[in-house]
Amino acid sequence: MNLSRAARAPWARLALLVLILAGAAASLLCWDPRQLATAVPGAWRAPAFVLLFALGTLAFLPKPALNVAAGVLFGARWGVPLAVLGTTAGAALAFGLGRSLGQRALRPLLRGRVLLALDRGLTEHGFRNVLLLRLVPGVPFQAVNLGAALSGTRVRPYLAATALGVLPGTAAYVVAGASAGSPTSPAFLASGAVILGLGALSLAGAWRARRRTSAAEPSVGQTAERGYLPPATRQIAPEA
């Protein structure tokens, strides 16, 4: 009985989450999503690639590399929707693990104006803020997954915002992979320009964030005045 109770404890669930993520990352030494997808025959290749894409994102494999692989294997027409579907599936998998295994252990540890403001924004305006975080280049994909899982964000807005927000960057990398054999083609040049533009926006965003580190964020007292309770004292909203 005591062993069963310990297994359900928040710290035990958190330890399991860490082990799963570490194991997924370490597994990349043993498999390559592109090679495995190529080995799958015929009509099963597309769903197999979506599954491998999702597992690859969970294993912290760089998403641009997976998007390029989608373009190489399936072309732009099918590569874009498959990559978006794989990205959304990976985000759902990470969200489910973070929500079920890590939320109760980590939420009480959220402290400071920035973390409280981020949690409040994700909880109260989940779709809008997840969409913005997906659109902004350079924001770590897994960080958004786990951050949303720890907050009160609901599943449906989170997944919808993910699918919509990753579309521009995903399309650019998929088209680049699909047209890599013709580096002077308009498609490759256009996708390369978009990728460079996304990189420039990422650098500009990091520079602005550094300058605005001490920007006005609602303090704990201010958030209390507005009816927002810290995570340790607020009951988690039920899933939709």
63-92 pLDDT per residue, tens: 999 999 999 999 999 999 999 999 999 999
Residue at token pair 């960057």 = 169
CB neighbours of residue 76 within 10 Å? 17
Question: What is each CA distance from 140 to 43, 120, 137, 163, 175, in whole angstroms?
Answer: 32, 20, 9, 16, 22
Whether 63 contacts 28, CB under 8 Å: no
Residue 27: band (very low, low, confident or very high) from pLDDT cuts 50, 70, 90: confident
The residue length of the chain stands at 240
Question: What is each CA distance from 14 to 18, 85, 102, 108, 184, in whole angstroms?
Answer: 6, 28, 5, 13, 49
144-159 pLDDT per residue, tens: 998 888 888 899 999 9
Enclosing H/E stretch for 134: helix 126-135
Q: What percent of the chain has pLDDT over 70?
A: 75
pTM: 0.74
Q: How confident is the model at residue 2, as a pLDDT?
A: 55
